Amino acid sequence: MTHPNRPIHRGSLEKREAKLAYVMLIPTFLIVLSIVLGPLLANFWISAKPVQLGDLRSARVMVNEALRPRPKVAGEEVMLRYRVRNSSQGDEITVAGLTDTLPVGLIIGDVPDPCALSGRTISCDFGTLEPKQRLDVLIPITVEQAYFDNGIRPRDDKAVTTGSSQNVLTSLEFTFDNFRKVFSGPEFWTVLKVSLYYTIFGTLGALVLGLFAAQLLNTAFKGRNILRGLLLFPYVAPVIAVAFAWVLLLDAGPGGTFNAMLIQMGATEEPINFLGQRAIPYSVFGIQFEFPMALTTVIVFEAWRYFPLSFLFILARMQSVNSEMYEAAEIDGATPFQQFWSISLPQLVGILSVLFLLRFIWTFNKFDDIFLLTGGAAGTRTLTVDVYEQAFAVSNLGAGAAVAVVVFLVLLVFSLIFFKFSPQDDG
């Protein structure tokens, strides 16, 4: 029984409950860390490795066995040939060897070094196989009638190979050559600039279109729900389908619908290569400029495809604003633009900042849109496309991982700056 004058100490109980809660959350933390940090740490690991696409497979002993010439009659003497090679172009194999049990009906003659015979089993110990090394082992064989009767051939029971090699991915050899190649490359800073240009304007375009659509559909009118559903089409449609449709519409050839319309209206005399032309020169007050045609087209596609997400979030925030504020402003004689600027926009600052952060990260990481539209050509090569080119087109996984690390660091710096200076939603 608790003494009435003794204070009740709840601190120890709260600490025990907190410890129990943390213990119960350990599995969740482990799952999240394995899903999020696992691939990230693996990417950092690969970026510091001199690894090519062909290095993903460890070096192994390859054996091709055959009887030469092919026996035709009993009593014939032939040679059993083991053609052994190291599958790797750069790694050696230690403790290399093979073991093979020959079918009944083959009488084995003298077994050369480094092989030994035990019954019908041949064992060979080759020691160390250098990279790309090949060697042949020839063993004289006399063929009996039982060989033809049982129907079993040496290739039916393949030799078992052994060997040990060090994979570059699991070794402790690290290098910064991948990063040196990336930063010293002539195209890296251009690609980085294109990535930032594409990300910033693609993000702003999606936000502006979403804001405009939300403002339009925030008022009640007949058919508003149908129009809301139609506006979601660019976002929910398969990216392959919409990208292919845009390629057909903007084709510079005779089948390009948009170019045909421009020519018919007299807006241009010849088709415009929207997705294949790097830049169009023009001058303002005698100053020469270049308009990035293909990059701008990709940005327009990005804004068109992803504005519905912004539209949904902004519209939801608009509809939570108290309508009495607009009624009071209208009584005071405020114009619709003044109401939007003084009432709606301050209420939307928070959601707009969150959407800008999310869309910036997603757009900076975007690969499929650009790859499907232009393949990264005509000045549209971004860092994500460069990751693919380095890792698979050039087969340099280390360099591709290094570019991916750069993408991560850029987004990390941007996120830290954003959280430091981002406005807060007061609504």
pLDDT at 1: 47
CA 97/CA 161 separation, integer angstroms = 6
CA 355/CA 341 separation, integer angstroms = 19
140-165 pLDDT per residue, tens: 999 988 888 887 777 777 889 998 88
Question: Are 133 and 193 members of one domain?
Answer: no
Looking at residue 54, what DSSP letter applies?
Answer: G
Question: Are 251 and 289 members of one domain?
Answer: yes
Question: Are 208 and 335 members of one domain?
Answer: yes
What does each C-alpha distance from 318 to 228, 321, 322, 399 come to in angstroms? 15, 6, 9, 46
The CATH number of residue 157's host domain is: 2.60.40.290
pLDDT at 424: 59
The CATH number of residue 246's host domain is: 1.10.3720.10
CA 345/CA 364 separation, integer angstroms = 26
Question: Are 280 and 137 members of one domain?
Answer: no
Question: Are 326 and 194 members of one domain?
Answer: yes
pLDDT at 423: 64
User: Is 17 a member of any domain?
Assistant: no
pLDDT at 134: 92
How is 140-203 classified by DSSP, letter by letter? EEEE-HHHHHH---GGGSPPEEEEE---TTTSS---SHHHHHHHHSTTHHHHHHHHHHHHHHHH
Is residue 213 within a helix (H) or strand (E), and if so which, with residue range?
A: helix 188-216
pLDDT at 10: 55
Structural domain span for residue 358: 179-421
Question: Are 191 and 291 members of one domain?
Answer: yes
Q: For residue 227, what are the contacts with CB-CB under 8 A and spacing of at least 6?
A: 217
How is 104-145 classified by DSSP, letter by letter? TTEEE-PPPTTEEEETTEEEEEEEEEPTT-EEEEEEEEEE-H
CA 76/CA 182 separation, integer angstroms = 62
Question: Are 80 and 144 members of one domain?
Answer: yes
Residues of the chain with pLDDT under 50: 1-2, 427
Closest listed residue to residue 270, CA positions, set 285, 297, 252, 284: 252
Domain boundary among 164, 193, 215: 164
- How many domains would you assign to the chain? 2
Question: Are 113 and 204 members of one domain?
Answer: no
Question: Are 413 and 301 members of one domain?
Answer: yes
CA atoms within 13 A on the CB side of 330: 6
What does each C-alpha distance from 141 to 71, 72, 85, 152, 409 come to in angstroms? 10, 13, 22, 15, 64
Q: What is the greatest pairwise CA distance in the chain?
A: 114
How is 379-427 classified by DSSP, letter by letter? T---HHHHHHIIIIIS--HHHHHHHHHHHHHHHHHHHHHHHHH------
* pTM for the whole structure: 0.76
Is residue 259 within a helix (H) or strand (E), and if so which, with residue range?
A: helix 257-265
